[in-house]
Amino acid sequence: MDLYSGYINKLIDELAALPGIGSKSAQRLAFHLINLPEAKVQRLANAMVQARQKVRYCRECFTLTDNEICPICQNDRRDHTTIMVVENSRDLAAYEKTGKYQGVYHVLHGAISPMLGIGPHDIKLKELMERLSGGPEIREVIIATNSSLEGETTAMYISKLIKPLGIRVTRIASGVPVGGDLEYIDEVTLLRALEGRVEL
Protein backbone atom coordinates (compact mmCIF):
# COMPACT_ATOMS: atom_id res chain seq x y z
CA MET A 1 0.00 0.00 0.00
CA ASP A 2 1.35 3.41 -0.96
CA LEU A 3 1.52 5.80 1.97
CA TYR A 4 1.83 8.93 -0.15
CA SER A 5 0.43 10.32 -3.38
CA GLY A 6 1.97 9.60 -6.78
CA TYR A 7 4.21 12.68 -6.97
CA ILE A 8 5.68 12.12 -3.51
CA ASN A 9 6.27 8.41 -4.21
CA LYS A 10 7.92 9.25 -7.54
CA LEU A 11 10.25 11.77 -5.86
CA ILE A 12 11.14 9.27 -3.11
CA ASP A 13 11.81 6.54 -5.71
CA GLU A 14 14.08 8.83 -7.77
CA LEU A 15 16.06 9.93 -4.71
CA ALA A 16 16.35 6.33 -3.43
CA ALA A 17 17.91 5.34 -6.78
CA LEU A 18 20.90 7.61 -6.04
CA PRO A 19 24.03 5.88 -4.66
CA GLY A 20 24.29 5.90 -0.88
CA ILE A 21 20.66 6.97 -0.38
CA GLY A 22 18.42 4.45 1.35
CA SER A 23 14.62 4.59 1.50
CA LYS A 24 14.53 6.50 4.81
CA SER A 25 17.06 9.08 3.62
CA ALA A 26 15.13 9.43 0.35
CA GLN A 27 11.94 10.03 2.28
CA ARG A 28 13.62 12.64 4.48
CA LEU A 29 15.11 14.43 1.45
CA ALA A 30 11.78 14.33 -0.41
CA PHE A 31 9.93 16.01 2.44
CA HIS A 32 12.72 18.54 2.84
CA LEU A 33 12.49 19.44 -0.86
CA ILE A 34 8.71 19.68 -0.74
CA ASN A 35 8.90 22.13 2.17
CA LEU A 36 11.53 24.37 0.53
CA PRO A 37 10.48 27.58 -1.21
CA GLU A 38 9.84 26.90 -4.90
CA ALA A 39 12.69 29.23 -5.95
CA LYS A 40 15.24 27.12 -4.00
CA VAL A 41 13.94 23.89 -5.53
CA GLN A 42 14.17 25.49 -8.99
CA ARG A 43 17.80 26.56 -8.32
CA LEU A 44 18.67 23.00 -7.27
CA ALA A 45 16.96 21.51 -10.33
CA ASN A 46 18.71 24.02 -12.62
CA ALA A 47 22.10 23.29 -11.03
CA MET A 48 21.64 19.54 -11.64
CA VAL A 49 20.54 19.99 -15.27
CA GLN A 50 23.32 22.49 -16.03
CA ALA A 51 25.97 20.26 -14.44
CA ARG A 52 24.76 17.31 -16.49
CA GLN A 53 24.81 19.37 -19.71
CA LYS A 54 28.05 21.35 -19.20
CA VAL A 55 30.42 19.08 -17.27
CA ARG A 56 32.86 17.08 -19.43
CA TYR A 57 36.29 15.46 -19.25
CA CYS A 58 39.40 17.62 -19.09
CA ARG A 59 41.29 17.27 -22.38
CA GLU A 60 44.56 16.60 -20.49
CA CYS A 61 43.81 14.54 -17.38
CA PHE A 62 40.18 13.45 -17.91
CA THR A 63 38.87 14.69 -14.59
CA LEU A 64 35.43 16.30 -14.58
CA THR A 65 35.37 20.00 -15.44
CA ASP A 66 33.18 22.55 -17.18
CA ASN A 67 36.13 23.91 -19.17
CA GLU A 68 38.18 22.29 -21.91
CA ILE A 69 41.15 22.05 -19.50
CA CYS A 70 40.71 21.77 -15.71
CA PRO A 71 42.25 24.32 -13.27
CA ILE A 72 44.95 21.84 -12.14
CA CYS A 73 46.21 21.21 -15.69
CA GLN A 74 46.06 24.96 -16.44
CA ASN A 75 48.18 25.81 -13.39
CA ASP A 76 51.78 26.61 -14.46
CA ARG A 77 52.98 26.24 -10.85
CA ARG A 78 52.13 22.53 -10.83
CA ASP A 79 54.86 20.00 -11.65
CA HIS A 80 53.79 18.76 -15.09
CA THR A 81 56.62 16.19 -15.15
CA THR A 82 54.90 14.08 -12.45
CA ILE A 83 51.55 12.40 -13.10
CA MET A 84 49.49 10.66 -10.42
CA VAL A 85 47.14 8.04 -11.87
CA VAL A 86 43.86 7.69 -9.95
CA GLU A 87 40.70 5.67 -10.57
CA ASN A 88 38.17 8.52 -10.40
CA SER A 89 37.72 12.24 -9.76
CA ARG A 90 36.81 11.60 -6.10
CA ASP A 91 40.30 10.12 -5.55
CA LEU A 92 41.83 13.22 -7.17
CA ALA A 93 39.82 15.42 -4.80
CA ALA A 94 41.03 13.39 -1.79
CA TYR A 95 44.68 13.98 -2.73
CA GLU A 96 44.06 17.66 -3.43
CA LYS A 97 42.65 18.07 0.10
CA THR A 98 46.05 17.12 1.53
CA GLY A 99 47.58 20.18 -0.14
CA LYS A 100 50.91 18.32 -0.43
CA TYR A 101 50.91 16.91 -3.95
CA GLN A 102 52.03 19.47 -6.53
CA GLY A 103 52.06 17.35 -9.69
CA VAL A 104 49.22 16.71 -12.13
CA TYR A 105 46.80 13.78 -12.48
CA HIS A 106 45.38 11.27 -14.89
CA VAL A 107 41.89 9.92 -14.13
CA LEU A 108 41.21 6.40 -15.43
CA HIS A 109 37.45 6.35 -14.70
CA GLY A 110 37.57 2.81 -13.45
CA ALA A 111 39.88 -0.14 -12.89
CA ILE A 112 40.54 -3.36 -14.78
CA SER A 113 38.10 -6.02 -13.60
CA PRO A 114 37.79 -9.20 -15.69
CA MET A 115 34.98 -10.39 -13.40
CA LEU A 116 32.89 -7.33 -14.34
CA GLY A 117 33.99 -7.41 -17.97
CA ILE A 118 36.08 -4.22 -17.65
CA GLY A 119 39.27 -4.47 -19.65
CA PRO A 120 42.15 -2.06 -20.37
CA HIS A 121 40.23 -0.57 -23.33
CA ASP A 122 37.27 0.37 -21.10
CA ILE A 123 39.24 2.86 -19.00
CA LYS A 124 41.43 5.85 -19.98
CA LEU A 125 44.68 3.86 -20.41
CA LYS A 126 45.18 4.58 -24.11
CA GLU A 127 44.90 8.29 -23.30
CA LEU A 128 47.52 7.94 -20.55
CA MET A 129 49.96 6.27 -22.93
CA GLU A 130 49.37 8.97 -25.57
CA ARG A 131 50.06 11.58 -22.92
CA LEU A 132 53.32 9.91 -21.91
CA SER A 133 54.62 9.55 -25.45
CA GLY A 134 53.67 13.03 -26.68
CA GLY A 135 53.98 16.44 -25.07
CA PRO A 136 56.27 17.50 -22.20
CA GLU A 137 58.79 15.07 -20.73
CA ILE A 138 57.35 13.02 -17.86
CA ARG A 139 59.81 11.95 -15.17
CA GLU A 140 57.54 9.97 -12.83
CA VAL A 141 54.15 8.26 -12.87
CA ILE A 142 52.69 7.62 -9.41
CA ILE A 143 50.07 4.88 -9.47
CA ALA A 144 47.44 5.65 -6.84
CA THR A 145 44.76 3.09 -7.61
CA ASN A 146 42.87 1.48 -4.74
CA SER A 147 44.32 -1.43 -2.75
CA SER A 148 41.56 -3.72 -4.03
CA LEU A 149 42.19 -6.66 -6.37
CA GLU A 150 41.04 -4.50 -9.30
CA GLY A 151 43.27 -1.61 -8.22
CA GLU A 152 46.30 -3.88 -7.85
CA THR A 153 45.65 -5.51 -11.24
CA THR A 154 45.39 -2.09 -12.85
CA ALA A 155 48.58 -0.89 -11.15
CA MET A 156 50.57 -3.90 -12.37
CA TYR A 157 49.20 -3.54 -15.91
CA ILE A 158 50.08 0.17 -16.06
CA SER A 159 53.54 -0.49 -14.66
CA LYS A 160 54.26 -3.07 -17.39
CA LEU A 161 53.14 -0.60 -20.08
CA ILE A 162 55.19 2.35 -18.79
CA LYS A 163 58.51 0.79 -17.72
CA PRO A 164 59.73 0.21 -21.31
CA LEU A 165 59.38 3.97 -21.88
CA GLY A 166 62.13 4.62 -19.30
CA ILE A 167 59.80 6.61 -17.04
CA ARG A 168 60.03 6.07 -13.29
CA VAL A 169 56.91 4.25 -12.01
CA THR A 170 56.02 4.30 -8.30
CA ARG A 171 53.09 2.97 -6.28
CA ILE A 172 51.59 4.72 -3.27
CA ALA A 173 52.27 2.96 0.02
CA SER A 174 49.33 1.52 1.88
CA GLY A 175 49.08 -0.10 5.25
CA VAL A 176 48.06 0.57 8.83
CA PRO A 177 45.62 3.46 9.15
CA VAL A 178 46.31 6.19 11.72
CA GLY A 179 44.72 5.12 15.00
CA GLY A 180 44.34 1.50 13.88
CA ASP A 181 45.01 -1.42 16.24
CA LEU A 182 47.38 -3.98 14.69
CA GLU A 183 45.41 -6.94 16.04
CA TYR A 184 42.36 -6.00 13.95
CA ILE A 185 44.19 -5.41 10.66
CA ASP A 186 44.33 -8.10 7.97
CA GLU A 187 47.58 -9.76 6.87
CA VAL A 188 47.73 -8.16 3.40
CA THR A 189 47.45 -4.67 4.88
CA LEU A 190 50.13 -5.46 7.46
CA LEU A 191 52.43 -6.82 4.75
CA ARG A 192 51.93 -3.69 2.61
CA ALA A 193 52.68 -1.54 5.66
CA LEU A 194 55.90 -3.49 6.23
CA GLU A 195 56.96 -3.25 2.59
CA GLY A 196 56.17 0.46 2.44
CA ARG A 197 58.17 1.30 5.56
CA VAL A 198 60.30 4.46 5.58
CA GLU A 199 63.43 5.44 7.47
CA LEU A 200 62.99 7.54 10.61
Handedness of CA 86, 90, 91, 94 (dihedral sign): positive
pTM: 0.80
| Amino acid at residue number 66 | D
Rounded to a whole number, what is the largest CA-CA distance in the chain? 65
Ranges of each domain in the chain: 77-173
175 versus 123: the higher-pLDDT residue is 123
**CATH code, 77-173:** 3.40.1360.10
Please spell the DSSP secondary structure of 139-162, one letter per residue. Answer: -EEEE---SSHHHHHHHHHHHHHH
Exposed / middle / buried, residue 85 (Cβ in 10 Å: 0-12, 13-18, 19+): buried
Residue 146 has pLDDT above 90, yes or no: no
Question: Does residue 176 register a pLDDT over 70?
Answer: no
pLDDT over 80 at 108, yes or no: yes
Q: Which residue has the higher pLDDT, 44 or 176?
A: 44
Q: Quick check: 1 pLDDT over 60?
A: no
Percent of the chain with pLDDT strictly greater than 90: 70
Q: Identify the three-state secondary structure at position 105.
A: strand
* 171, β-bridge pairs: 143
pLDDT of 24-65, one tens digit each?
999 999 999 999 999 999 999 999 999 999 999 999 999 999
Over 60: is that where the pLDDT of 200 sits? no
Per-residue pLDDT reduced to its tens digit, 113-138: 989 999 999 999 999 999 998 767 89
Q: What is the pLDDT of residue 199?
A: 58
Q: What is the pLDDT of residues 189-199, one digit of tens each?
A: 777 777 776 65
Mean pLDDT score across all residues of the chain? 89
